[in-house]
Amino acid sequence: METRIHNATIVLSQGDITEQDVDAIVNAANKRLAGGGGVDGAIHRAGGPAIMEECRKIGGCPTGTAVITTGGNLPANYVIHTVGPVYRNGTSGEPELLKNAYLNSLKLADQHNVKTIAFPSISTGAYGYPLKDAAKIALSAVKDYIKTETNIKKIYFVLFSSRDFEVYRETLSMLMSK
Residues carrying an active site annotation: 40
Q: Which amino acid is at 38?
A: G
33 binds ligand AR6 (CB under 6 A): no
Nearest residue (CB) to ligand AR6, 86 versus 175: 86
Q: Are 83 and 29 in contact (CB under 8 A)?
A: yes
Binding residue (CB under 6 A) for ligand AR6 from 9, 14, 36, 154: 36
125 binds ligand AR6 (CB under 6 A): yes
Measuring CA to CA, how many Å separate 145 from each of 127, 134, 149?
24, 16, 8
Q: Are 5 and 154 in contact (CB under 8 A)?
A: no
Alpha helix positions (H), the chain: 38-47, 49-58, 94-111, 131-146, 162-176
Q: How far is the CB of 161 from ligand AR6 (least distance, A)?
A: 6
29 binds ligand AR6 (CB under 6 A): yes
Q: How far is the CB of 9 from ligand AR6 (least distance, A)?
A: 19
CA distance 65 to 3: 27
Q: Single out the segment in contact with ligand AR6 by CB under 6 A; choices: 16-24, 50-58, 136-144, 146-154.
A: 16-24
120 binds ligand AR6 (CB under 6 A): yes
Nearest residue (CB) to ligand AR6, 117 versus 122: 122
Measuring CA to CA, how many Å separate 131 from each of 46, 120, 124, 128, 136?
26, 12, 6, 8, 9
CA distance 168 to 67: 25
Binding residue (CB under 6 A) for ligand AR6 from 10, 108, 158, 172: 158
94 binds ligand AR6 (CB under 6 A): no
Which residues sit at the interface with ligand AR6, rule CB under 6 A? 16-18, 28-30, 36-40, 42, 84, 120-127, 158, 160, 164
